[in-house]
């Protein structure tokens, strides 16, 4: 198989391919990425710091909103990167981004960075953030998409099936939608097989029915959708004979989903960590389940409550600085996720490792007294819960410091004994004598962004009693 079946722009030139302007730029970036991934960590950091210095210089000159913040850190206009001064630059919160509004936009984006495009993203915070990005930023995005294809040895001539947010009424069951290529990221550079897509709001049964008919080589979807699909196929002995690999995006991949997918279809899961406002942050290592920070695109810091970097294995807040978006520079932006850095990877790549990526702060369980804990259920927790009652889908909602609502989709009404046992399970698992209200629903709706969360906190900003 040809790892990159390149497209050629000029008439009559089949080989070697000559890509068009943007295709050539993407390949030029990719050519460098193929080498920089093997650089030692220190060399990567030095190169990255040169780009951060260029970004800070541009930001200082063209985004007045940042001037005070940078001045207080001791930043000198045009100065090379200084670790000391950098660590004093205040962290930019989502609330800062919302309140600053247009003040975060550069008043003079270099013409060579191309036109501007904007997107909105609310994550799971209910605070919509607008991000403005340049065409140049898009080129980088596309180069990293290709890196992911190369890392995970995808056969680009295969059929890709996509179940993701697609907008109300788009790509409906039973047919979904069909396009000729895997998308804009690939099209400029490579020939791909077809891409079929289905609306994420279809039921699991409809999704499975559609997948069986489409018989894809690859599936791209959200982890929670994948979990439902794999469980359904495993229960019903449904195979997807051509499927080679699943790629997950957009939500946190929970423990258990990889092995479920392996059991159901015998294929691996490749996870990606990206954000609309910041680009690719980390891609899964080709040889391990952990992630490599995409240092050529973004400076990622994982910091503790004191703002200092946390050591490998400990969980801290993820703070990102995308290196190439000169339209709306985000300097030390706290994206709202948590992660644990890891030790250097045995694959030989110098790109830093994230061992685990965890969900958003809003979705931590808050105990009276203010302690916050991760409510992630392990696969044995899930198995325990399923032994109690015939649960098809669940969602925990922390309503108050003393109350948890357990929303359930079940095949039949629950007995008193089952409800009592579930209440005890919740109290035991979360380590506090919560009042547990069980609510049966026909379906648990996804949030505004189509992300599904199995734990929702409605008391995010309140002080604990």
Give min distance, CB of 250 to Zn ion, in A. 23
Pick between residue 196 and residue 285 the one whose CB is nearest to Zn ion.
285
Residue 151: CB minimum distance to Zn ion, A = 9
Give the phi and the psi of residue 456 in degrees, each rounded to 5: -125, 130
- What's 371's DSSP letter? -
Query: Would you say 332 or 349 has its CB closer to Zn ion?
Result: 349
Distance CA 194, CA 455 (A): 36
DSSP 103: G
Instruction: Tell me the HSE value of 402 on the side-chain side, using a 13 A CA sphere.
Output: 2
Nearer to Zn ion, 147 or 349 (CB): 349
Using the minimum distance from each CB to Zn ion, give the nearer residue, 69 or 349: 349
What's the closest the beta carbon of residue 42 comes to Zn ion, in angstroms? 17
CA dist 67 → 60, 89, 94, 383 (Å): 6, 11, 19, 53
Residue 213, Cβ density class (10 Å: 0-12 exposed, 13-18 middle, ≥19 buried): exposed
Residues with Cβ within 8 Å of residue 158, at least 6 apart in sequence: 193, 216, 217, 218, 242, 244
At 430, list the tokens: 């979360």
Q: Are 171 and 196 in contact (CB under 8 A)?
A: no
CB of 430 to Zn ion, least distance (A): 35
User: Which residue lies nearer to Zn ion by CB, 292 or 332?
Assistant: 292
Q: Which is nearer to Zn ion, 345 or 426 (CB)?
A: 345
Task: From 267, 22, 250, select the one nearest 138 (Cα to Cα).
Answer: 22
Q: State which residue, 288 or 446, has the beta carbon closest to Zn ion.
A: 288
Euclidean distance between CA atoms 341 and 357, whole angstroms: 9
DSSP state of 309: B
Residue 288: CB minimum distance to Zn ion, A: 5
Cβ 94 vs Cβ 124: under 8 Å: no
Q: What is the SS3 string spanning 7-42?
A: CCCCCCCCCCCCCCHHHHHHHHHHHHHHHHCCCCHH
Tell the smallest beta-carbon distance from residue 314 to Zn ion (Å).
20
CB of 347 to Zn ion, least distance (A): 3
The interaxial angle of helices 379-388 and 416-430, nearest 10 deg, is 160
Residue whose CB is less far from Zn ion, 230 or 345? 345
The footprint of Zn ion (CB under 5 A) covers 285, 345, 347, 349
* Nearest residue to 224 (alpha-carbon basis) of 245, 197, 246: 246
Q: Considering beta carbons, is residue 227 or 290 the nearer one to Zn ion?
A: 290
Using an 8 Å Cβ cutoff, are 456 and 395 in contact? Answer: yes
In the complex, least distance from residue 432 CB atom to Zn ion, rounded to whole angstroms: 39
Least distance in angstroms from the C-beta of 287 to Zn ion: 6
């Amino acid at each position: 198989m040809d790892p990159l079946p390149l497209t050629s722009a000029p008439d009559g030139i089949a080989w070697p391919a000559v890509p068009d302007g943007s295709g050539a730029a993407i390949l030029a970036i990719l050519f460098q990425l193929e080498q920089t991934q093997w650089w030692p960590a220190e060399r990567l950091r030095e190169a990255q710091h040169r780009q951060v210095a260029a970004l800070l210089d541009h930001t200082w000159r063209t985004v007045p909103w940042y001037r005070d913040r940078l001045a207080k850190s001791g930043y000198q206009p045009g100065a090379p990167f200084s670790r000391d001064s950098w660590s004093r630059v205040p962290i930019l919160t989502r609330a800062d981004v919302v309140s600053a509004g247009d003040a975060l936009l550069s008043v003079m984006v270099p013409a060579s960075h191309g036109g501007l495009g904007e997107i909105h993203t609310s994550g799971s915070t209910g605070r919509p953030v607008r991000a403005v990005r340049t065409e140049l930023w898009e080129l980088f995005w596309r180069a990293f998409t290709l890196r992911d294809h190369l890392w995970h040895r995808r056969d680009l001539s295969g059929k890709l099936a996509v179940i993701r947010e697609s907008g109300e009424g788009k790509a409906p069951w039973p047919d979904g939608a069909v396009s000729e290529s895997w998308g804009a990221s690939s099209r400029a550079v490579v020939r791909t097989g077809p891409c079929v897509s289905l609306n994420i709001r279809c039921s699991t049964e409809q999704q499975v029915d559609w997948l069986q008919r489409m018989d894809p080589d690859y599936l791209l979807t959200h982890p929670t959708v994948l979990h439902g699909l794999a469980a359904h196929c495993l229960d019903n002995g449904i195979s997807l004979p051509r499927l080679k690999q699943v790629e997950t995006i957009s939500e946190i991949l929970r423990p258990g989903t990889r092995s479920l997918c392996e059991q159901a279809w015998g294929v691996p899961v490749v996870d990606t960590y990206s954000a609309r406002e910041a680009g690719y942050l980390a891609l899964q290592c080709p040889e391990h389940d952990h992630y490599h920070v995409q240092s050529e695109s973004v400076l990622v810091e994982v910091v503790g409550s004191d703002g200092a970097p946390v050591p490998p294995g400990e969980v801290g807040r993820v703070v990102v600085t995308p290196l190439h978006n000169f339209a709306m520079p985000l300097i030390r932006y706290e994206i709202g996720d948590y992660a644990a850095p890891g030790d250097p990877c045995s694959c030989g790549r110098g790109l830093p490792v994230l061992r685990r990526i965890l969900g958003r702060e809003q979705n931590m369980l808050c105990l009276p007294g203010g302690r916050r804990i991760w409510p992630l259920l392990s696969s044995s927790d899930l198995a325990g819960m399923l032994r109690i009652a015939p649960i098809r889908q669940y969602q925990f909602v922390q309503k108050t410091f003393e109350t948890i609502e357990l929303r359930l989709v079940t095949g039949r009404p629950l007995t008193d004994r089952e409800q009592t046992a579930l209440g005890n399970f919740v109290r035991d698992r979360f380590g506090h004598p919560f009042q547990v209200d069980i609510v049966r629903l026909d379906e648990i709706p996804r949030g505004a962004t189509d992300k599904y969360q199995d734990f929702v906190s409605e008391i995010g900003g309140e002080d604990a009693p």
